[in-house]
Structures are given as structure tokens and as C-alpha cells.
């Protein structure tokens, strides 16, 4: 196939993918969650503030800062939209990179199929419009893998350079260094100079990450500091958040002492692996969930691919799942596995190749007819992706404005500790604090991290790990917990609190102080309850 035609096809694929992304994007609302932190940190960097955030890596915000330096706007929405556009651009550019990696495994036709599988995956398209760090992280990971696959072992140096960039972008990027190292050693162990090249790459890796480590040491007296450090060995996510709030430290040895070695292995490895499989199956819809199992099966006898590359891909996938398992056991977040999708896509192309090249040979089809079959496969992928994309709910302006209005109510009326809500009602708390009560262009990373800005308000959020309402209230009393937010629809965390929404009379010690329906809210359906501990103890004594 002519190079000119390949570029044309890739541009067509990227253009269709861009249309899907723009359909999912909403440029009318500002960022409001993790992406809010990235954008604000980027603004701070553009003003010369290079303090390191306590809960996330600094690479994505540093990448955004030069673009923000060129801006002169008093509207935070402009900064939000620039971050979204850059994120979309990086994700779209990765399509061309996936094609280049695919060429290590397939010819031009099937490398195009690999690019299509990546370009039209709805979950990645949706993530790309959120101004989060995943698109840049995936780009860096794939680039590292591309150079790792080079037959000349000296390219390990470039692979480790991009592994260092990955660590700058996300905290879990440190595992990429381990994965690249394991893959390189097991793949190039017969090379005479592989240790020399690896040593050079290791030195370059350390040089690149050293400014970040030095900054962390200056701020936190620990070059590897993270707010999750010392709390990851918790029993569940609610306890993890509670431990962070209370600055309660945990460790593997303490967990084993309290729960036993078998429970430790099950919680942090077996359940982590199970969570990985469940999450990967969810983000594999609507077409990869069929192709991935077949691709894995065919990869054991991948005679059309170089065994060295197939082996490297297997090592990369398995080591990633193993190293991520203990994190996913506590924080089952899909975003943590997005970087694995390109590697699974490479295996997903194999069954398409087998059917086209060998399965159809039974019918004595010509090359042109096989190409027509491939075009039909790609059209089916686009249709499935389009139908699945329509299922994603775009940001509802009515709902988002009601969340913004409730955030203002909470800051003005909830004077005390409120249990952290996972239903979305408090999504805009930080936005209101920063944008309505502070000049976002003067945002300071350190003053936000240590609570200087947030503690100006009576409203505070806290977390409590409990198994039911009574357990929650008993534990919450010592933490001065004042308010609970109950959602009409049950959420994953604290589902027993959401049950109060429909059965509030069963809890006389929970005094309703806010009902969104009474305020005329159309989409946000929540109730806020204040805990009356005197009534709770009387009720508890009577019950027991």
C-alpha cells in the first residue's frame, strides 16, 4: 500500500474519531473534579509556582502551563476549554502512534485496523474530553513501548526516557519503569551490551525524574511522598479516604497483624486481579470484549507476528496487571487501566487477521475481496462505537447548574463536617470556593494543599468507614460529623445512606434540613440530614 494512501486513511480515521470526541465534549461547563486540580495547577505553574501537589503528579499540569501562559482571560471557562482541546488533540494524535506500533506486529492493513480499534473505543474518547492526564499518559506509555520493541537494544534508553515522562504525568507511572525493565531484560537478555545500554537508560531516567523528587523532598521531606502513602493498605476505599482525612497511617505489616496473611493476599492480590478483569471487561465494550479473548487465545500461536514482540506484549500486560492489582483492590477505578488498552488492542487484531487471511481462503477470495471484508469490519466497528457513544450522557446544563447552586448553599449553610458525597451533589464545592470566593489566577498550590484556602469556610468534608447507618453515626460522633447527604439513586459508596432518602421516618435522629425538591430542583435529587446525637443515643438504647 502506498505511503500517501496510508496517510490519507489515517487522517480519515482520526477525523471520524475526532467527531466522536467533539460529540461527547461540553465546552459550556468548567472542569470540576480531578481535572479542576490539573487546570488550576497549570495556571499556578504559568505564574511561576512549581510546588508539587500532594495527591497527584505534576506532569500534565506542567504540560498545560505554557499554553496558559499565552492566555490573558478572566474567564476560567476559557482555561478549562483549552485543557480539553489539548487533551482531545493528544488523544487524536495517538492514533498515528498506535499505527506505528501496529506495524511491529502486522502489515499496513491490519495496523490500520489496530488504529481503528483504538480511535473508536468510546471509553477512551469520553476520557479524552475531560482534560484529565490519561491521554498524555497513554501517549507516553505507547511511545516507550514502541522504542522498547526496536531490535537494537540501545533504544532502551529512549524507552526509559518516556518511562520517566510517564512518572511525571501519573504517580502510577513508576510501574512503567518496572514493566519496561522486566520486558527488556526478558526480551534482550541474549544481547552482549544490553546491560550497558540499560545502565545508561537508568541514569537518564533518574536524571529526568530528579527535579520532581527534589521538589517533593523540599516540600514533604520525602522524595516519593504522596497523600496515599501510608494509607493504601486499607480494607476498602471508604477507609482509605477516612485514613487520609485523619492522617492515620497503615502498613502491610499492620494489616497482616490485624487480619492475617491469607486475608492480605486475597485483598491486595486476588481481589485486585479480579477487579482488573472486571474493569477491563467493562471498558472493552462494545467490540473488544469479543476480540480480546480470541486474540489472547490466538497469540499463543501467533505465527504471523514475531515471537519476540508477542512475548514483549504479554510481559507488558501481565506485569502491569500484577503491579496494579494491589491499587485496584482498594481503588477499583477504570482510568487506572486505560493505558493497557492499546496492548490488548494489538492482540485483538490477530483474530481479524486470521479470519481474513486464512478463514476466507476457503472461499478462494481475492486480495481485493479480502480488503472489502476488512472495510466492512471497520464499518461495523464504527457503527458499534457510534451506538455505544450515544449511551454516554453528556453534561446536563440543568443538572450541573443545580449542583453549582447546591455547592453555594452548602458553603453558606452547612456549618461543620459533612460526610463526603459520591453521588455528585458536591462536585462544584471546590469550584465555588476557588472561583466565587477567590481569584483563580492567583491560585497557590501549597496554600490549597495545606487547607489554608479551604479552611476559610465552615463547611468541611470528612470520610468515615462504616458498615451501616448506626455504625457510621457511632464512629462519626468522635469526628464531629454533622451532616449526611442522601441521593435518590443508590451510589456505590455508602449505599445505606441513600436508603434514607426514601425511608427518612425510620431514622428519627436524622433531621432533614434540605430537600432539593422543595427548592425546585429538576434533576438533582438529594436530601441533607443533620445528625442529632442525643436522639440517636436514646433510640440506640431503646433498640438494644
pLDDT of residue 539: 72
pTM of the complete model beyond 0.85: yes
157 pLDDT band, cuts 50/70/90, is very high
pLDDT of residue 339: 93
Number of domains the chain is built from: 1
pLDDT of residue 95: 96
Q: Residues 482-508: pLDDT tens digits? A: 999 999 887 777 888 888 888 888 888
Q: Is residue 172 part of a domain?
A: no
Q: Give me the domain span that covers residue 443.
A: 397-543
513 pLDDT band, cuts 50/70/90, is very high
Q: Is residue 494 part of a domain?
A: yes
Residue 194: pLDDT over 80: no
125 pLDDT band, cuts 50/70/90, is very high
Q: Is residue 243 part of a domain?
A: no
pLDDT of residue 122: 92
What is the residue-averaged pLDDT of the chain? 85
Q: Residues 254-271: pLDDT tens digits? A: 878 888 888 888 888 888
DSSP secondary structure letters along 277-338: HHHHHHTTTTTHHHHHHHHHHHHTT-TTS-HHHHHHHHHHHHHHHHHHHHHHTT---GGGGG
Residue 112: pLDDT over 80: yes
pLDDT of residue 437: 53
Higher pLDDT, 336 or 543: 336
Q: Is residue 507 part of a domain?
A: yes
Helices and strands, number each (H, E), in the chain:
24, 5
Report the 3 state secondary structure along 344-405.
HHHHHHHHHHHHHHHHHHHHCCCHHHHHHHHHHHHHHHHHHHHHHHHHCCCCCHHHHHHHHH
DSSP-based three-state secondary structure for 418: strand
452 pLDDT band, cuts 50/70/90, is low
240 pLDDT band, cuts 50/70/90, is confident
Residue that the C-alpha cell 440506640 belongs to: 540
Write out the three cell numbers for 358: 486464512
Write out the three cell numbers for 42: 497549570
Residue 319: pLDDT over 70: yes
Residue 541: pLDDT over 70: no
Fill in the DSSP letter of residue 267. I
* 345 CB burial (10 A radius; 0-12, 13-18, 19+): buried
Q: Is residue 484 part of a domain?
A: yes
Determine how many CB atoms are found less than 10 A away from the CB of residue 307. Answer: 9
Q: Is residue 408 part of a domain?
A: yes
Fill in the DSSP letter of residue 269. I
Taking the mean position of all CA atoms in its chain, how far away is CA 399?
23
202 pLDDT band, cuts 50/70/90, is very high
Least confident of 29-33, 115-119, 513-517, 532-536: 29-33
pLDDT of residue 136: 96
Q: Is residue 207 part of a domain?
A: no
Angle between helices 367-391 and 108-119 in degrees, nearest 10: 10
Residue that the C-alpha cell 442522601 belongs to: 486
Least confident of 172-186, 352-366, 486-500: 352-366
74 pLDDT band, cuts 50/70/90, is confident
Q: Residues 387-439: pLDDT tens digits? A: 888 877 666 778 888 998 898 888 888 888 888 887 888 888 877 777 665 57
Percent of the chain with pLDDT over 70: 92
pLDDT of residue 205: 94
Q: Is residue 457 part of a domain?
A: yes
Amino acid at each position: 500500500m502506498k505511503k500517501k494512501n496510508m496517510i490519507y486513511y489515517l487522517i480519515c480515521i482520526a477525523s471520524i474519531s475526532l467527531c466522536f470526541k467533539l460529540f461527547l465534549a461540553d465546552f459550556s461547563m468548567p472542569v470540576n473534579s480531578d481535572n479542576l486540580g490539573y487546570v488550576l495547577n497549570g495556571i499556578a505553574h504559568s505564574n511561576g509556582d512549581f510546588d508539587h501537589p500532594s495527591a497527584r503528579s505534576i506532569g500534565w499540569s506542567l504540560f498545560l502551563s505554557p499554553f496558559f501562559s499565552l492566555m490573558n482571560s478572566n474567564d476560567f471557562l476559557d482555561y478549562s476549554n483549552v485543557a480539553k482541546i489539548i487533551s482531545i488533540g493528544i488523544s487524536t494524535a495517538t492514533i498515528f502512534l498506535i499505527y506505528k506500533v501496529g506495524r511491529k506486529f502486522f502489515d499496513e492493513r491490519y495496523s490500520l485496523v489496530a488504529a481503528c480499534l483504538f480511535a473508536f473505543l468510546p471509553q477512551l474518547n469520553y476520557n479524552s474530553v475531560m482534560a484529565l492526564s490519561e491521554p498524555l499518559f497513554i501517549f507516553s506509555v505507547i511511545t516507550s513501548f514502541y522504542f522498547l520493541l526496536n531490535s537494537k537494544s540501545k533504544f532502551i534508553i529512549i524507552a526509559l526516557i518516556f518511562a520517566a515522562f510517564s512518572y511525571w504525568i501519573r504517580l502510577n507511572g513508576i510501574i512503567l519503569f518496572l514493566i519496561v525493565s522486566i520486558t527488556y531484560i526478558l526480551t534482550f537478555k541474549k544481547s552482549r551490551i544490553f546491560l550497558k545500554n540499560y545502565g545508561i537508560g537508568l541514569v537518564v531516567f533518574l536524571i529526568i525524574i530528579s527535579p520532581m523528587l527534589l521538589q517533593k523532598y523540599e516540600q514533604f521531606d520525602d522524595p516519593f511522598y504522596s497523600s496515599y502513602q501510608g494509607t493504601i493498605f486499607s480494607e476498602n476505599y471508604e477507609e482509605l479516604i477516612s485514613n487520609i482525612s485523619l492522617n492515620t497511617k497503615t502498613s502491610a505489616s499492620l494489616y497482616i497483624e490485624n487480619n492475617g496473611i491469607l486475608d492480605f493476599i486475597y485483598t491486595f492480590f486476588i481481589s485486585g486481579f479480579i477487579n482488573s478483569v472486571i474493569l477491563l471487561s467493562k471498558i472493552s465494550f462494545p467490540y473488544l470484549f469479543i476480540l480480546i479473548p480470541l486474540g489472547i487465545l490466538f497469540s499463543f500461536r501467533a505465527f504471523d507476528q514475531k515471537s519476540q514482540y508477542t512475548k514483549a506484549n504479554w510481559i507488558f500486560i501481565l506485569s502491569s496487571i500484577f503491579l496494579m492489582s494491589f491499587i485496584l483492590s482498594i481503588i477499583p477505578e477504570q482510568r487506572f487501566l486505560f493505558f493497557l488498552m492499546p496492548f490488548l488492542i494489538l492482540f485483538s487484531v490477530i483474530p481479524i487477521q486470521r479470519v481474513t487471511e486464512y478463514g476466507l481462503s476457503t472461499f478462494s477470495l481475492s486480495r481485493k475481496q479480502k480488503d472489502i471484508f476488512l472495510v466492512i469490519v471497520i464499518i461495523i466497528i464504527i457503527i458499534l462505537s457510534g451506538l455505544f457513544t450515544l449511551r454516554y450522557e453528556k453534561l446536563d446544563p440543568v443538572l450541573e447548574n443545580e449542583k453549582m447552586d447546591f455547592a453555594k448553599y452548602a458553603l453558606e449553610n452547612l456549618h461543620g463536617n459533612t460526610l463526603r458525597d459520591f453521588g455528585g451533589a458536591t462536585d462544584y464545592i471546590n469550584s465555588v470556593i476557588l472561583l466565587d470566593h477567590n481569584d483563580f489566577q492567583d491560585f497557590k498550590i501549597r496554600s490549597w494543599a495545606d487547607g489554608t484556602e479551604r479552611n476559610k469556610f465552615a463547611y468541611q468534608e470528612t470520610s468515615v468507614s462504616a458498615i451501616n447507618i448506626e455504625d457510621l453515626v457511632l464512629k462519626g460522633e468522635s469526628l464531629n460529623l454533622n451532616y449526611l447527604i442522601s441521593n435518590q439513586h443508590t451510589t456505590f459508596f455508602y449505599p445505606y445512606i441513600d436508603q434514607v432518602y426514601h425511608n427518612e421516618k425510620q431514622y428519627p435522629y436524622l433531621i432533614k434540613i434540605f430537600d432539593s425538591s422543595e427548592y425546585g430542583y429538576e434533576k438533582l435529587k438529594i436530601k441533607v440530614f443533620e445528625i442529632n446525637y442525643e436522639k440517636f443515643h436514646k433510640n440506640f438504647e431503646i433498640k438494644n
